[in-house]
Amino acid sequence: MDWQSWLIGIVGRALAFGTPLLWGTLGEIYAERAGVVNLGVEGMMVLGAFSAFAVAQSTGHPGLGILVAAVVGGIAALIHAFLTVTLRANQYVSGLALTMFGLGLAGLLGRGWEGIPLRQPLPSVTVPGLSKIPLLGPMLFEDQSILTYTGLILAVVLWLLLYRTRWGIVVRSVGESPATADALGVNVFLIRYLCVIFGGVLAGVAGGFLSVEYRPAWTEGMTAGMGWIVIALTIFAAWDPLQAIWGALFFGALYHLSYRLQAWLPPELLKLMPYAFAILVLAIAGLSGRKRGAPGALGVPYTRGEK
């Protein structure tokens, strides 16, 4: 295969497979910017994947499936928010519990739905005009998902929101120094709830994309640890929505390569590439002092008046 088709294939598929990573990371960025770590992304994604498939399969409307997935993700995140913000429980453990619960519940409910191809998957989109541009056209504008383009636009919007608006100042302050925000009348609890739920909504959509467009089918555990990659990406992107795009693209490319190279290397060893790279990526971030960008109060439950 000539290098041009190779390049088109890699970038095109990187965009596609990076989409759920992007959506998930954008959501987790907002949750963590408000100071709450949500390790339940894997659980929320898989619940989103299942509910999207189930709804799309039974109603024939894939878009509805995505919508329901968003709601389901939000509800799952609500549990986490309640435990960590109101009851001030340990954020790491709560997230782990959510993942265990989500994987179990999705597996439980999904029993009858496995292996059936989706009868009406979300159609892919080819941008008229732009897709005719040599090389770039087929790479970026042909045969992609609406969710891919929406995700990219969302990243820009979320960036603007975070750094250029009143809401952004509030969210960032709640994550850096909740006591400060509280003393100025900001409702820290409410902001944290909203950001965590928002993160869940986006994670749900990410999962829905997998089962309704990318694959499209339901298999137990189809998220295959993507939720954990999202958590790593959040750190690697330095909690910046625009940088999340590059991280998602990079890992999208990695996933694609792990399929592409199967002709030359054992498939199992290729499959471990994304996970090994996640560690590598964090190690590099650690070398460059990236952790310094973490929101100051990340992972710490907030109690008013605590000394």
Partner 1 sequence: MAIRSIPKNSLGIPTTAPPLLKLRDIVKSFPGVVANDHVSLEVQAGEIHALLGENGAGKTTLMNILYGLYRPDSGHIFIKGEEVHIRSPRDAIAHGIGMVHQHFKLVYPHTVAENVALGLAGTPFWQPARVVERGLKELSERYGLPVDPRARVWQLSAGEQQRVEILKALYRGAEILILDEPTSVLTPQETAELFKVLSRMKQEGHAVIFITHKLGEVMEVADRVTVMRRGKVVGTLPTAETDKGSLARMMVGREVVFRLSKGECHPGEEALVVEDLHALSDRGIPALRGVSFTVRRGEILGIAGVAGNGQHELVEVITGLRRAQRGRITILGEDLTNRSARRMADAGVAHIPEERLRMGIVPGMSVEDNLILKKHHRRPFSRGPLLQLRKVHAFAKRVIEEYDIMTPSPRTPAKLLSGGNIQRLILARELSGQPGLVVAAHPTYGLDVGATEQIRQLLIRQRDAGVGVLLVSEDLEEIMTLSDRIAVMFGGEIMGVVSAGEASLAEIGLMMAGERRQAQEPR
Partner 2 sequence: MKRFGPFLFERRLAPPRSVVLGVSMLAVMLALLVGAAIFAGYGVNPWHAYATIGKSTLGSRYGLMEILRRAIPLLLCGVGLVIAFRAQFWNIGAEGQLLAGAVAATGMALFSGIPGPWLLPAMFGAGFFAGATWGMVPAFLKVKLRVNDVISTLMMNYVMIYIVEWLIHGPWKGPTMRGFAYTDTFPKAAWLPTLPLSRVHWPTLLIGVVAAILVALILNRTRLGYEIRVVGESEGAARYAGINFLRVSLWVMILSGGLAGLAGVGEVAGIHHKLLSPTQVSMGYGYTAIIVAWLARGSPVVAIVTSLLFGLIFAAGDVIKTVLRMPFQVTGVFNGLILFFLIGVELLMYWRVRLASRGERWTGKAGSSGS
Choose among partner 2, partner 1, none what residue 87 binds, the Cβ cut-off being 5 to 8 Å by kind. partner 2
Choose among partner 1, partner 2, none what residue 305 binds, the Cβ cut-off being 5 to 8 Å by kind. partner 1
263 binds partner 2 (CB under 8 A): no
Q: Applying CB under 8 A, which part among 23-31, 33-41, 174-182, 194-202 lies near partner 1? A: 174-182
Give CA–CA dist 281/287, Å, rounded. 10
Supply the DSSP symbol for 192: H
Q: Binding partner 1 by CB under 8 A: which of 71, 75, 179, 282?
A: 179
State the binding string over 218-237 for partner 2 (x if CB under 8 A, else -).
--x----x--x--xx--x--
| Nearby residues of 90 by Cβ (< 8 Å), 6 or more positions away | 84
| φ/ψ of residue 49, rounded to 5 | -60, -45
Choose among partner 2, partner 1, none what residue 250 binds, the Cβ cut-off being 5 to 8 Å by kind. none
Question: Which of 37, 94, 98, 91 is closest to 72 using CA atoms?
Answer: 98
Dihedral over Cα of 75, 77, 80, 86: its sign: negative
Contact (Cβ atoms closer than 8 angstroms) between residue 31 and residue 194: no
Choose among partner 1, partner 2, none what residue 101 binds, the Cβ cut-off being 5 to 8 Å by kind. partner 2
Q: Binding partner 2 by CB under 8 A: which of 1, 2, 268, 306?
A: 268
Give CA–CA dist 231/31, Å, rounded. 11
Give CA–CA dist 213/244, Å, rounded. 22
Amino acid at 93: V
What is the smallest separation between the CB atom of 127 and partner 2, expressed in angstroms?
A: 35
CB closer to partner 2, 106 vs 154? 106
**Which whole-number Å values give the CA distances from 91 to 83, 84, 104, 255, in the listed order?**
8, 6, 20, 29
Indicate the SS3 state at residue 115: coil
- Tokens (6 digits) for 129: 């005009």
Dihedral over Cα of 115, 260, 6, 20: its sign: positive
- Tokens (6 digits) for 286: 């650690």
Supply the DSSP symbol for 301: -
Q: Applying CB under 8 A, which part among 98-106, 125-133, 159-167, 207-215 lies near partner 1? A: 159-167
Q: Binding partner 1 by CB under 8 A: which of 157, 183, 269, 279?
A: 183
What is the smallest separation between the CB atom of 197 and partner 1, expressed in angstroms?
A: 20
181 binds partner 1 (CB under 8 A): yes
CB closer to partner 2, 139 vs 281? 281
Supply the DSSP symbol for 79: H
Residues in the chain: 307
What is the smallest separation between the CB atom of 286 and partner 2, expressed in angstroms?
A: 3
Binding site for partner 2 (CB under 8 A): 39, 43, 79, 83, 87-90, 92-94, 96-108, 111, 220, 225, 228, 231-232, 235, 266, 268-269, 271-272, 275-276, 278-279, 282-283, 286-287, 291
Site residues (vs partner 1, CB under 8 A): 164-167, 169-170, 172-173, 176-177, 179-187, 296, 304-305
